Amino acid sequence: MTKTLHAIFEAIAKIDNEQELQQALMDTIGEHFGVQHWGISFLDSELLTSIEIPEIPAVCLEANPVGSYVLERHAPTHEQLILSPEDWKNFCTRHEHVMTGPIVCDGHLVGTLNFARDPGSEPFNANDLADLSALCIHLSAKIATLRSQPKPSKPVDSPLTARELEIAELVAQGLTNGEIATQLWISQNTVKQALKRMFKKLGVSARAEMVAKLQTQVIRNF
């Protein structure tokens, strides 16, 4: 085990919530895998039928064979294990080499760990894949532990899902759609669409009105 991989495992063990993951790994994970781009993408249960496209790197789980492989098998892979370089270019012109691994909780794919290298870089190899597999095991175990911890219950009469309430809380803190997207590792469009659903469920038309109505529900239930 290399020193940086051991440091990554230690960083994962120390985090207290999912939001800390990306920041905790930032200083070590890119260095270890020698990548220009990497990211963690968590998939909401509501998004599993129209899976989110992680922005870094641009890996769509439904639209290319790398993502489909991970989605179907819950196993890590990179583009050269599945496609020829010529065929891969038909799916991705931005990144010459992509490697993706699963984050699994209770038997379900809940996220992916994604790496990309720019044109001219070395392809991912068997050692990279083995390290990604080990890393995904640690991440999956940590996520399972975090998600097994008791969470605050939502207001009894709130029609919003737990994820929507999480977005509402960030709205109440004054965060923009872009800042919310960064905090939750989703795209701005996902935040925008979620807010539209939330407005419709609550019968409101503005962010401030939504926050006020949710606060009223909390006070009433208290």
Residue 80 has a pLDDT of 92
Q: Are strands 97-105 and 77-78 parallel, antiparallel or unpaired?
A: antiparallel
Give pLDDT tens digits for 75-121: 999 999 998 888 888 877 777 888 999 999 888 888 888 888 888 88
Secondary structure of residue 58 in the 3-state scheme: coil
- Domains of the chain: which residue ranges? 3-148, 162-221
* Ranges of residues in the chain whose predicted pLDDT is under 50: 1, 45-60, 62, 219-222
Give pLDDT tens digits for 12-24: 998 887 777 777 8
Region at 77 (left for phi over 0; alpha for psi -120 to 50; beta for the rest): beta
CATH class of the domain at 162-221: mainly alpha
Residue 148 has a pLDDT of 82
- How many residues are there in the chain? 222
Residue 44 has a pLDDT of 57
Q: What is the C-alpha separation between 198 and 194, in angstroms, rounded?
A: 6
- Helix intervals (H) in the chain: 3-14, 21-33, 65-73, 85-89, 126-148, 162-172, 177-184, 188-202, 207-221
CATH fold label, 3-148: Beta-Lactamase (3.30.450)
Residue 71 has a pLDDT of 84
This prediction's pTM: 0.64
Contact between residue 101 and residue 133 where contact means Cβ atoms under 8 Å apart: yes
Contact between residue 152 and residue 141 where contact means Cβ atoms under 8 Å apart: no
Residue 217 has a pLDDT of 65
